[in-house]
A = this chain, B = another copy of it.
Amino acid sequence: MGPVIEKETGHGATGDRILDAARVVFLEKGKAGARMHGIAAQAGINKALLHYYFRSKEDLYREVLTKELTVFFRGLIESIRPSGDIEALVRDFIDNYIDRLSRNPQVVRFLTWEVGSGGPVARNVIGGIVHGGEGVPIYRAFSNTVGDAARSGRIRPVDPQHLLFSLIGMCIYVFLAAPILSGVFPGVDTSDKTFLEKRKREIFDLVWYGIRAEKGGNDG
């Protein structure tokens, strides 16, 4: 049989162990707070070998973050069916965004560190995914569905860009602010399925009642 390829990362087995270890440490401490020694220890090797695989901390950080964000956002976008039905699209967006954030809380943490330091890596990755890709770029598809729904009189006219920002903001906020919110409002627990399902319903209701055309007003 041919060569056994496990993850197809372009690094060997040790290289992958390093990436996993680096992921854990960067997540916990951020880029500046992370220590190459700590990453090597987490990977079960020493600093010299670490530098043999990745020339510098900067390189390692960029590689870890790019991989993490690419996997997350590609998966997210692929899971949102580019439906022409605005109601289904909104529901799918909220469902998928929250589900995936709750299954990948480390992504929020990475984004937090990254934004703190100006976000150069995230800007590249996300920009490429949102506007690039095969077929119709995802943002274009979203924008079209919103525009069509408004023209057909199903919803009132809304700015698709702002609607998108509102959706993202409402979904991601509780994850972002979790360390603070959980101390201020007991009961807020972003790992609790019940809380998240309620959060989904509240967001969907707010948005759907907030954009749908009033009854009797759909004579576009």
Binding site for B on A (CB under 8 A): 29-33, 109, 112-113, 115-119, 122-123, 126-127, 130-131, 156, 158-159, 161-163, 165-166, 168-174, 176-177, 179-181, 183-185, 188, 198-199, 202-203, 205-211, 214-215
Chain B nearest Cβ from A106, distance in angstroms = 12
Q: Which residues in B have their C-beta under 8 angstroms from that of A176? A: 115, 176
Q: Which of B112, B113, B161, B174 contacts A185 (CB 8 A)?
A: B161
Chain B nearest Cβ from A173, distance in angstroms = 3
Interface SS, A side: helix
Question: Given A118-B179, A169-B172, A210-B209, does the pair A162, B199 have CB atoms closer than 8 Å?
Answer: yes
Most B Cβ at <10 Å: residue of A29, A166, A199: A166
Check A180 against B210 for contact (C-beta < 8 Å).
no
Chain B nearest Cβ from A42, distance in angstroms = 17
Question: Given A179-B119, A211-B206, does the pair A173, B172 have CB atoms closer than 8 Å?
Answer: yes
